[in-house]
Structures are given as C-alpha cells and as structure tokens.
Structure 1
Amino acid sequence: MSADVSKFNGCYIQLTNSHLSGHDEDLLITKAKEMFKSQNKNRKFSYIHSWKILRVARKWKGFANPQSGSAKRTRNLSSGAYTSSSSNPNISEVDNNVEVAEERPIGQKAAKEATRNKGKAKKAARAIDEKWNNYKDMQDKRLALCEDVIRQKDEEIRQKDFAILCKETSNMDERARKNHEQICEIIRQKYGMS
C-alpha cells in the first residue's frame, strides 16, 4: 500500500507542478489516477482515501511544495569558482540560499530505539525515587527517635523538678531553706503554677 500511495503521490505532484490551467483538485486527482494506471500495467489506484489523509503528512510535504526548487552548482571555466543555477527564482545566486523542507519524522528503527531508551530512563527514575523514599523514611525514623529522646529528657527534668518541689525542708538550715524556696518559685513559674 505504501509503495502505491508513494507512486500516486508522485503522479499527483508531477501534474501539480505542470500548472495545468483550468484544472481543479478533482480533475488533477482523476488525471493522476489515469497516469498511475498507465505507469502500473493498467492497475487502478484503490487507496485514494489513504492518500488524502497521508498527503498532508510531513513525509510528503517537501515533495509537494512547488516553491522549493533544487539548487545546482556549476563550475565557471574562466574563474574556476562555483556558481549556482536554479529553476526557482526565490534562490539567490549570490549567497546560495536554498529553502529546506520540514524535517521528516523519525523512522521505525529510531522510534523503537527511543522507546527502549524511555524504558531505561523510567527504570532509572524509579530507582532514584526508591532511593529518595528510603532516605526520607530513614530521616523520618531518625527524627522520631530524636523526638522520643527529647520527650524522655523533658520527662526526667519534670520528675526532678517535682522532686525538688516536694523535698522535705524541716531538716534544712535557714540559708538552705531560702535557696530552696527561690528554686521552687522558679520551677512554679516555669510550669505556670504560681
């Protein structure tokens, strides 16, 4: 099918480039069918619906563009320099500018290779994500352990403070009782017990 569509597209482009006056799109397609039939042993072109879809694809845009002519370089015998000659008036002879058609789509092998590489990239991304998640889990566990240690230390300090508040002061001398009372006041303020 692809070969037939390509051959028919060539016939159509050939007729389009010949600039037949008074011919519309349908007439050009009919003439291209006749040309295809004469070039291919009276075989009819039966993929017209496919060609209508494919003719706007990038693969055939460069061929169908009558604006892009080919530049031809010839050697000047007198000076030995190269000159360009072209059937396209848009191409400058001085600076050798040639219009370039759009880039064709990648082929089947390149598409398969790109697909394979996408799989490798996804695996690498998954591995990195897994390592990152493991690192985050370890950091969360470490943080939880640190918070537990801090809570335990705070509880030990509260118990010691409570022990100071409940300490028996009857066997203390006057100076020790004054110091104890000042420390008790600080502890009460710390816990809002004043």
Structure 2
Amino acid sequence: MDFRQIFFDPQGRSSPRDFARGLIVLTGVMVAIQTLTVIAGPQVNVLQYALVFPYICVFAKRLHDAGQSAWLWLLFLAGWLVVNAVVGGILMQLMVPGAMELSTELVNAMLAPEGVDQAALSAKVEEFSRLSAVPNILSFLIASGLTGYVAYSLKSDPKPNRFGPPTTGSRSS
C-alpha cells in the first residue's frame, strides 16, 4: 500500500482492503490528536484539519472503485456528523452528566454583556475538554466505524471504469 497515493491523491480506485487500512490509520491519528488535546490543551484540535484531505482521498478512491462519484463523500460526512452528534450526546449524558451544565456555563459566559474573564473562561474550556474526552473519542470511533463499514461494503466494479482498472483483491459481491 502506497501511503502517498492513498492519502494524497483523490484519483483512481481503492480496494476495500486498502480503504480499510487507510481509514484505520486516519482514525488512529485522529484519536491521537483528540488525546493530545486533553493533555496539551484544546488548541491542539487545529491539527485535525490536516486530515480532511486524506479522508476525502480515502473515501473518493473507495467510491471510485464502486463506480460512484467522489462527491458522494458528502453523504458519508453528513451521516458521520449525525451519528457522531447523536451518539456523542447520549454518551455525554451517560458518562459525564456534569459536562452539559458546564457547557451551558461556557455559552452563558461568552454571551455575558459585561465581558468575559479570559482566565476563568480558559479554565472552564480546559475542564470541559477533559470531561468530554472519553465520550467524544467513543462517539468518534462509533461514527467512523459505521460510515467506514458502509463504504467498505460497497460493491466493487469488477471491470475497468472511468476511474481506472479494477483493483486487486476487489470484492465484487
């Protein structure tokens, strides 16, 4: 598996096996970033934006292998967002009931007409980040697993298509 081709080139096709490998690597890096966010601070979250294009490339190639347009990746993104939000909300309530009150306090502090105490706000943001870390990581893994499974399950086009020749190890069932 050529990592440059999988993660940085949206053209071509990718077998379900290469797709799964690429998605697992990206998911691992994302979990590492989320964990680092808890350790080093919320500002580390900016690193996740570097993974947007690799995610697009991985899904685009898998969609191409199924004979579909890479633009359908937006449907996978929408599905991921919905699953992540629902599962995250449920897990947050179950695992950290106090986090929702803290979230409300953060919003109220930011909307306060008398101004914001930056030090207090920063401390609350860090506390919220720490409290919500495990539910966020779990919801991310569940949403990624579900959307990844759907993409993995797409039927591969066994013949050459407009995106290239068939992949080796393609599942055409």
Q: TM-score range by the shorter chain?
A: under 0.3
Normalised by the size of structure 1, how large is the TM-score?
Answer: 0.17
Higher strand share: 1
Bigger Rg, which one: 1
Normalised by the size of structure 2, how large is the TM-score?
Answer: 0.19
Higher helix share: 2
